[in-house]
Structures are given as C-alpha cells and as structure tokens.
Amino acid sequence: MEQDRVARRIIAAIKEQIHSGAYQPGDRLPSTRAFAAEWGASRTTVTAAYNQLNAEGYLIIRHGARAVVAAGLERA
C-alpha cells in the first residue's frame, strides 16, 4: 500500500535525523499537519509514522502537544 511505503520513508528519515543529531532529545517535531504538507503525505500517514516511532521509543507523544524526541536514545 502506498500509505505504508510513505510512512516507512518518514520513519526512516526521522530515525536518521535523530541518529545524526539533527533532532536532539527534547526537540519537538513539526506538527502532523506541517510534516504532511512538507512531505506531500496525508496527516493520517504522518500520524501512523509518529505512532510507530512512539512505540519504538523514539518519540514521546502527548494528546494535544507536538511529538518530542525521547531522551536516552543511542546515537549511531
């Protein structure tokens, strides 16, 4: 499915930015709306990507707030 492929690309891109230090622990990611516009994806796809990164421990997501990079991640 195209949505899954785009979500995987978003996940890989965010992980790379975290591992490279472009995103530091505590940094807020763009809103799902802004990220979707930047990537030409739907908000549903971006939300799915953020939720997967949350499940993997990369992001902290709180309802009504932007996603934040989790502390304690190993950098590659």
Place of tokens 């932007």: 66
pLDDT at 76 over 90: no
Tens of pLDDT, residue by residue over 17-72, are: 999 999 999 999 999 999 999 999 999 999 999 999 999 999 999 988 999 999 98
Which pTM does this prediction carry?
0.90
- Within-domain flag for 74: no
Paired strand residues for 63: none
- Within-domain flag for 19: yes
CA atoms of 74 and 51, how far apart (whole Å): 20
Q: What backbone phi and psi angles, to 5 degrees, belong to 59?
A: -125, 155
- Short-list 34, 21, 65, CA closest to 10: 34
Domains contained in the chain, number: 1
pLDDT at 74: 62
- Within-domain flag for 18: yes
Q: Which domain holds residue 60?
A: 2-69
Burial class (CB in 10 A: 0-12, 13-18, 19+), 55: exposed
The CATH number given to whatever domain includes residue 8 is 1.10.10.10
